[in-house]
Amino acid sequence: MTVIANWTTASRNMLKDILSLDTWLPETMPEYAQGFMYMLGSLTASSFVVLVISGIVLAANGPASWSYNPADRFVAAIHFWGVQAFFFFMMLHLWRVFFTGAWRGGRRETWLLGSLAFLIAIPTAFTGYLINGDFYSQWNAVQAKDGLNALGLAWVNLPNAGQMFGMHVVVLPLTLGALIFGHIARVRLKGVVPPYPLSSPHSAPKKEVPEP
């Protein structure tokens, strides 16, 4: 019986690889992937987990609870420094994978998902500043609203605290989480890109210098 490959077969094979324990919990790792620079992606993902947990606590207690509740103010501080760590490790991770050619070996989709995650993380953080409710956030909302109006994006109402709260708590985090999950899944499926070879196979051979 001839089996015709279609999208269902490809989807089953992909899900089989994604849901495999060998994909997510490998027993061995390449030696070059055990350095600190290759841990930047894990540190970025760990910072995102801290942001999600602290964000859920803050959202459950209300958008202004950190203004009068000392416990929520502490959680808000964790959330704030989690954002700093997230962008710090993400930038270092992007630089590392760029200079090591992380798109090699059929990893273009992995690189694109990571780049999209970085782009989505920017408005996610910005909308977080807008729901603080202080004069600084209100001033930023008005100025950014004028910029979006100039670009023809008037439907994004930045001074609307309810809309920004929904964007920051639901829409953008879910989008960012999906991109990060897809990025990590691609890394687990394709593996970590090896370093560049020390010598290129197309380089000219060295000329031997005759002894005097």
45-103: pLDDT as tens digits? 999 999 999 999 999 887 778 778 888 899 999 999 999 999 999 999 988 888 888 78
- Res. 1 pLDDT band, cuts 50 70 90: very low
Mean pLDDT computed over 117-143: 89
Cα–Cα distance for residue pair 64/131, rounded to 1 Å: 8
Neighbours of 107 (CB within 10 A): 20
Question: What's the mean pLDDT in 147-162?
Answer: 82
pLDDT value for 195: 77
The pLDDT of residue 23 is 63
pLDDT at 185: 86
- Tell me: pLDDT of 212 over 50: no
The secondary element (H helix, E strand) that includes residue 43 is helix 40-61
What is the CATH code for 34-190? 1.20.810.10
Q: Which two tokens stand for residue 72?
A: 């929520």
Give the residue extent of every domain in the chain. Answer: 34-190
pLDDT at res. 211 = 47
Average pLDDT over the chain, rounded to an integer: 82
Q: Is 90 exceeded by the pLDDT of residue 169?
A: yes
How many angstroms separate the CA atoms of 135 and 121, rounded?
23
pTM over 0.85: no
